[in-house]
């Protein structure tokens, strides 16, 4: 019975991770025209945060409708999930809303534009 419950919870967690996986961008001003940061979240829990020519790898997970980014240096950054928008308080940068710009294709291979 315990194995069945664990399997069900694990499957639900994987489904949510697949929904959130994709590429996100945040803009520098209210016009949302100049991208300053990108997040790429892979279904396997790996991620990349890119700013201009700099990028950082991290591990991500979802717990209680929040996204948790775990940096290699041991830091943890929590954010909220609201549909296709992630709101994350980035240290030294303030609160940013990352909007989903691409998602996984069916079959889980490659990224395709969210809106065509």
User: What are the pLDDT digits (tens) for 25-66?
Assistant: 886 655 556 667 889 999 999 999 888 778 889 999 999 889
Cα 92 from chain centre: 19
What pTM value is reported for the model? 0.71
CATH number at residue 57: 2.40.128.290
Euclidean distance between CA atoms 58 and 93, whole angstroms: 18
Instruction: Taking residues 85-106, report their average pLDDT.
Output: 81
Reported as type and span, the H/E element at residue 31 is: none
Q: Is residue 73 part of a domain?
A: yes
| 93 contacts: CB under 8 Å, gap ≥ 6 | 37
Q: Is residue 111 part of a domain?
A: no
In this prediction, residue 34 carries a pLDDT of 65
Q: Is residue 58 part of a domain?
A: yes
Tell me the percentage of the chain whose pLDDT exceeds 90: 35
3-state secondary structure of 52: coil
Q: Is residue 115 part of a domain?
A: no
List the domain range (segments joined by +) for residue 23: 2-103
| 95 contacts: CB under 8 Å, gap ≥ 6 | 87, 88, 89
8 A C-beta contact, residue 43 and residue 18: yes
Q: Is residue 68 part of a domain?
A: yes
Number of domains in the chain: 1
Q: Is residue 50 part of a domain?
A: yes
Euclidean distance between CA atoms 71 and 56, whole angstroms: 8
Q: Is residue 52 part of a domain?
A: yes
| 66 contacts: CB under 8 Å, gap ≥ 6 | 78, 79, 80, 81
Q: Is residue 112 part of a domain?
A: no
């Amino acid at each position: 019975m315990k194995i069945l419950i664990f399997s069900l919870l694990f499957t639900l967690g994987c489904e949510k991770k697949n929904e959130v996986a994709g590429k996100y961008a945040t803009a520098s001003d209210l016009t949302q025209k100049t991208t300053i940061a990108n997040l790429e979240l892979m279904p396997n829990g790996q991620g990349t945060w890119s700013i201009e020519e700099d990028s950082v790898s991290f591990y991500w997970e979802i717990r209680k409708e929040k996204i948790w980014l775990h940096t290699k240096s041991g830091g943890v950054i929590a954010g909220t999930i609201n549909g296709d928008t992630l709101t994350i308080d980035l240290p030294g940068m303030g609160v940013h809303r990352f909007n989903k710009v691409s998602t996984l294709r069916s079959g889980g291979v490659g990224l395709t534009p969210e809106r065509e």
